[in-house]
Each structure stands twice: as structure tokens, then as C-alpha cells.
Amino acid sequence: MFSLFILLVERLGIIILLAYILMNIPYFKRIMANRSSWSTKVKLVVVFGIFAMCSNITGIEIRHNHIISSQIFLHIERDASLANTRVLSISVAGLIGGPFVGIFVGLISGISRFMIGGKDVYTYIISSGVIGLLSGFYGYLSLRKSSYPTIKQGIIIGIVLEAVQMICIILFASNTANAIELVKFIALPMMLVNSLGTAIFLSIILSTIELEERMKAIQTQDVLNLTNETLPYFRSGLTEKSAQQVAQIIKDTMKVSAVSITNKTDILAHVGAGSDHHTPKKKIITDLSKDVIKTGKMKHAHSRQEIGCSHPGCPLERAIVVPLESKDEVIGTLKFYFTEQRDLTIAERNLAEGLAKIFSSQIELGRVDIQSKLLKDAEIKSLHAQVNPHFFFNAINTISALIRVDAMKARELLLSLSHFFRSNLQGARSNTITVDSEIQQVKAYLNLEQARFPERFNVSFSIDPTCLDEKVPPFLIQILVENAIKHAFQHRKTDNDVLVLVEKNNEMLHIKVQDNGFGIDQAKIEAIGKTPVDSTSGTGSALENLNRRLISLFGTSSALHFNTGNNGTLFYCDIPIRKDETDEYINHR
């Protein structure tokens, strides 16, 4: 009996080894997390059916209550029996998957045992089905609670189900006396081994799940801590400054060799190994990052060649690159680099993916904040324009001077002044207005300016009629025209021309304002549209505000561009044409 026990423990070791390997396969872990679905139940039947067949063929042949041999059996003599760990496989299958899995694994086990042959083999089909049903019923109770049986319960269930098999052997035997003798010989070792095996199998499952939950908790805590530390930075947008600060925090917190953050074209920050050639303000140099930006999917690199850095001395050996997104559009990447040659862990991959999602949300919230501030700023500027003493008094003085000599012209200017102020109020309250409304506001402004400086400048309009109902940000064209009139011509008093063009180009609204002035001072070119520019006739922030509003509303593809030279300056931008209401589109950005 003791020899049988030792041999069964050896067979148990094979099953436990397979169980351990199985529970460390990520695919099987995902299956175990969704035990209630029918597709998972079918997969569990296949897996545990294989376990049960392995238990049958690795059994121990017994004849006349003596151990004959222990090898792999595909067939035994009619007067022989097998002691094996079949009940273990059926029990665990039912406990994990419920009645469906337990019964079908029991039938697979019983049929495979029947095909091997031996004494009273039909008994094992019956006993296997009963064991599968009983273990499945207990598994069903656990599934309803979304839990697993405990190790203690596994031991008790293993003993009870093995006892059920012994009872079936006696009840359905052709020779009851021989069956009782067989049970006396095999019952105790098989009860001990199968109950022990059930407990060990369950402990492997429970410890693996507990480890997974613990890792998730640690990852969640790490993400929350990093989120708390980085929250203030990305609210100002994905900039070089914010990226540098966030990258440094991640590098200090996580066990990574380097952290890099990019937009779609340039490296914004790189902290750690490789910073001698992965430097901010440079174009992205790794093929891996370009691929992530193109596909919008997370990528892993397991060698320097996969990273695709062209620098010969680059120390980076492993990488995780995750896209940063805003409204389903890739706007950059978050990259974790490692210098040691090792496998990337699931925890590192999940952490990188989780951080990227949170950073994307922060950037999107930041855009909303920026847009709110910019609109508020635009409203303030509009209100300032209403009470600007220079603008107001100049317009009133011009109208007063014309009242006696040209009353109709004075009336026209008074209406233009009223229209201009009213348009400013409406523009300050809306995200967008129609092209037609914007053009009318520009014309009202020009009427007042041309009355003060007759024949000083000429503004012509080329507006595609199909564009009049399309939406643009308020003050877009007015700011560009006003900028040209105030700054393009210096002190030249004649031959000053400005062209305003609005047309459709595929799915984009193309807007340009061109003058024939003296061009932009070289010292100011780099700052135009990016930072406030020193100005003697204003705050110098109008173009910067406009450019930031365009990017915040429509993305970087709608940023303000310009070409300048001795023959004048051209400002232009492209705004997406939306089939739905643009205001509604913007409010959901």
C-alpha cells in the first residue's frame, strides 16, 4: 500500500507540474478570469479533458491486489485494474467550471479509461460522470459567488469524490468480493493522493489569482501616485516644459532606464540613458515611435534593432512605446526604455498603457481648460475694444466731422460702429460664427478705419459663396486684417493692398489674408503666433491668442501659418468643414 502511495505521488507530480505551467500562461489566466462564459467552459473541457486522459495513461497497473507495473498504458489485460489520479482532474474541472465542465470532463475521462480496458471498465464511465456532476454542482455554488473553493474544502471534496468512486467500483462490479479486496488495497492511497492533489491544484490557482490581484493593486497605486504628481503639468497642454517635468517624475518613480515623451514629429523630453542623442527639439529618430504614431497601437521592442535608433552608441535595449491620444487622434507618444537585456514584464506594459490613457485624458482636459481661458480672454479683449477710448473717440470724432458735410456718410459710419460693437459681443459669447458674419464684422471695422484714413489702404475680398455658412472662430479674419493694416505698411500712405480669400479645399476651409507690405522683422519671425510680440500699438498677443485658439479648437493641422518677405506677408490656415454643427463638435472635444 505504501509503495502504491509513493507511485501515485509521482503521478501527482506530473499533473501538478502541468497545472503550474498552465497557470503561468497569460492566455489561460484570461480564461480563468471569465469562467462563466460558454466559450471559456468549452476551453476548460478541452484542457481538463487532456489532464484526465494523461491521468489515465500514467496509471499504475494492479492485478490480484499486487502492483504489476507503472508505465504509460494504452491497453491492459481484462483481469487488471489501474490506480491513477483521474478523479483529481475531474474534481478540479467541476470545481472551476461548474456542472457542464465537470460532466463532460468526466465523460471524456470515463471513455478514455474504457478504451484502455481492464476489469469492469464500464464502471469508470458511470463513476466519472457522477464525480463530474457532484464536483460541478459545488463549483456552480462557487461560481454564483464569483469565488473558488478553499484549500480545506478541496481536501474534503477530494476525499468524498474518491470515496464515491470506490462505492461505484463495489456496486457495479461483476465480482463483489474481488471488488472489495481491490478497494481495500487502493482506497486509502488514492484518497490521500487525490485529495492532496485537489488541494495543491486549487492552491496554485488561488495563489496565482491572488498574485495577479496584488500586482494590479500595486500598479493601480503606482498609477494613482504618478497621476497625482503629474496632474498639474499636462493641464497646460503637451508642451516641452510639461513633458520634461512629467518625464523626470516618472524616471524618479519607476525602475526604468529612460523616459521619453514626443509629439507627432519632435522629441519633447528625454530623461535618462541615451539623452546625449535623444534630445528635445530634435525630430523623432526611432522607427518604433514612428510606427506607433502611424498605427496608434502600443508596441514593444526587445532589441536595439527593433527600437530602430540610428545612433551607433545607443545604450537602449528594450522599449515600451504607447500612443498619447486626444479624441481618437494620436498626438504623441510615451516611451519607457531599458538598458538591460531582459524580458518586459506584464506589470511594466500595463503600467505604461494605464499612464498613457490617464495622460491622454489630462491633455484633453487641459485643452478644454485652455479653450475656456482663451475664450474668456477673447471676451475680455472684445469688451476692452468696446470701451477703448482711442478707438471709440476716433470713430466718434470722424462721425462728428462728417455730420455737417456728409450726413449720409456719417449715418453709415454710425451704423458700422453699432454693427462692430454688436458683433464683438456676439463673438465673445460663441465658439464659432459663420464666415458671412465674420466678413460683415470686418467690413464694419474697415468702414470706420477707411473713413479716418481715406485711400490709405485697399482691402479686397474673394469669398467662395458656398463658404458663407461655414463656421470659423470669431475675430479670425478681423485680427489678421487689423494686423496687416497696423503693421504691414509702416508709414507708406498709398498702394497698400490687402486680400482676404476664403475657399474650400477638399474637406477643409482655406482662409488667407495677404498684404503687399514690407514683411515681418526677422527678429520677430520666431515669436509670431507663439508668444506675445512687443508692439507699440497693442498688447502684441492677438496672433498668439488666435493661433492657440485654432489649435485648441481644431488641432495642430489648423494652426496659423505665414510666409513673409520684402514683397509682403501671407497668413493662412485650414479649418475642417464639419457636416454637423461645429459648435457641437467643439463642445465635445
Average pLDDT over residues 217-244: 76
Q: Is the dihedral of CA 527, 529, 532, 537 positive or negative?
A: positive
Q: Are 404 and 586 in contact (CB under 8 A)?
A: no
Residue 482 has pLDDT above 80, yes or no: yes
d(CA 404, CA 348): 80
Which pLDDT does position 103 carry in this prediction?
Answer: 94
Q: In this model, does residue 439 exceed pLDDT 90?
A: yes
- How do residues 168-212 score in pLDDT, each as one tens digit? 989 988 888 888 988 888 889 889 988 998 899 889 988 888 887
Q: Is the pLDDT of residue 384 over 50?
A: no
User: Is residue 588 pLDDT above 50, yes or no?
Assistant: no
pLDDT of residue 574: 94
Least confident of 48-52, 193-197, 251-255, 520-524: 520-524
User: What residue type is 423 in one-letter code?
Assistant: S
Which has the closest alpha carbon to 26: 289, 280, 346? 346
Collect all residues with Cβ–Cβ distance below 8 Å to 319 and sequence separation of at least 6: 286, 288, 299, 300, 301, 306, 307, 335, 336, 337, 338
pLDDT in tens, 484-517: 988 888 888 888 999 999 999 888 999 999 999 9
The answer to whether the predicted template modeling score (pTM) of the entire model surpasses 0.75 is no
pLDDT category of residue 387 using cuts at 50, 70 and 90:
very low
Which pLDDT score, from 0 to 100, does residue 164 have? 92
The mean predicted confidence, pLDDT, of the chain is 83
Closest Cα to residue 95, out of 55, 39, 22, 155?
Answer: 155
Between the CA atoms of 397, 401, 406 and 410, what dihedral angle is there, to the nearest 10 degrees?
10
User: What is the pLDDT averaged over residues 541-570?
Assistant: 86
Instruction: Tell me which residue of 169, 142, 146 sits closest to 157, measured CA to CA.
Output: 142
**pLDDT exceeds cutoff 70 at 165:** yes
pLDDT band at 380; cut points 50, 70, 90: very low
The mean per-residue pLDDT over the stretch 161-167 comes to 92
Q: For residue 21, is pLDDT > 70? A: yes
**How far is it, in rounded angstroms, from Cα 581 to Cα 577?**
10
pLDDT in tens, 389-437: 566 677 788 788 778 777 788 888 788 777 777 776 665 567 788 999 8
| Local structure of residue 265 (DSSP, 8 states) | S
Confidence band (pLDDT; 50, 70, 90) for 530? low
| Rounded CA separation 407/399 (Å) | 9
Q: What integer pLDDT is reported at residue 378 of this predicted model?
A: 63
| CA distance linking residue 397 with residue 449, whole number of Å | 12
pLDDT digits (tens, 9 = 90+) for 45-95: 999 999 899 888 888 888 877 776 667 777 788 878 888 888 998 999 999
Percent with pLDDT over 90 in the chain: 23
Q: How far apart are CA 140 and CA 79, in angstroms?
A: 38
**Domains annotated on the chain, with CATH:** 2-215 (1.10.1760), 235-363 (3.30.450.40), 388-587 (3.30.565.10)
